[in-house]
A = this chain, B = another copy of it.
Amino acid sequence: MSAISNRRERERAQRHQLIITAARELAEAEGWEAVTTRRLAERVEYSQPVLYSHFNGKDAILRAVAIEGFGELAARLRRARLAAPEPPQALHAVCRSYLEFATEQPALYQAMFVLPTDVKFAHAETPPPLRAAFDEFVSCFRADNPRRELFAEVTWSALHGIAALSESGRIPPNGQSERLDLLVGQIAGEPSGPATP
């Protein structure tokens, strides 16, 4: 009951991850609308019901992909922030990293922040990696700023707007760095140019 079922459990965990990875790759290659349970099952070389023995449904697979993404995003933002020499540049570095993440892996980003989800944000049951990612934004603002959480929230929202509108073709893909510079400059309170309307 020990060695054998250990192996089985290991295989099962591997297959669990295989499904997540396959869904993610398929979405990244052809978009989420191409991720059907049949295609996904064929890709992992099992039949459909196997998917349902691992996940409660397609939504659960999507959620698993998203949570995987939260961890990667948090790590990436943290690296960017720690690599920045000075606090003022940290915000810029983190924001640029965020946009790069969204651009390089659009399907993953969609699963995390665009598609309907029941993952709890800003809540007690929030996945730790997600909270960690948000905290990277918070850490970009001085600890004595009583509204740093609000600043982080607005910064993140603005970045999401840029990423989402760009990805869906609603603003031109070019000019992302100009938008980034302007946003960070204004958020950091350094009006660059004649800003006052």
**Contact indicator B154/A157 (Cβ below 8 Å):** no
Cα–Cα distance between A116 and B189 once the two chains are bound (Å): 35
Q: Which one, A10-18, A22-30, A48-56, A87-95, is touching chain B?
A: A87-95
A151 at the interface (CB under 8 A from B): yes
**Cα A163 to Cα B190 with chains together (Å):** 25
* CB of A145 within 8 Å of the partner chain: yes
Q: Choose among B116, B159, B175, B190 the residue that contacts A168 (Cβ–Cβ < 8 A).
A: B116
Contact in complex: A122, B172 (CB < 8 Å):
yes
Is A147 an interface position by the 8 A CB rule? yes
Residues of B within 8 Å of A156, CB to CB, are: 161, 165
CB neighbors of B among A131-177 (8 A): 140-142, 144-147, 150-151, 153-154, 156-162, 164-165, 168-172, 175
Question: Scoring A residues 111 to 124 as 1 if CB is less than 8 Å from chain B, else 0, what string do you get?
Answer: 00110110001100
In Å, the complex CA distance between A179 and B189 comes to 15
Asked if A158 and B164 sit within 8 Å, CB to CB, the answer is: no
A183 contacts the other chain (CB 8 A) = yes
Q: Does A186 contact B (CB under 8 A)?
A: yes
CB pair B164 A87 closer than 8 Å: no
Measured between beta carbons, the chain B residues less than 8 angstroms from A162 are 154, 157-158, 161
Which residues in A have some Cβ–Cβ distance to B below 8 Å?
87-88, 90-91, 113-114, 116-117, 121-122, 140-142, 144-147, 150-151, 153-154, 156-162, 164-165, 168-172, 175, 178-179, 182-183, 186-191, 193-197
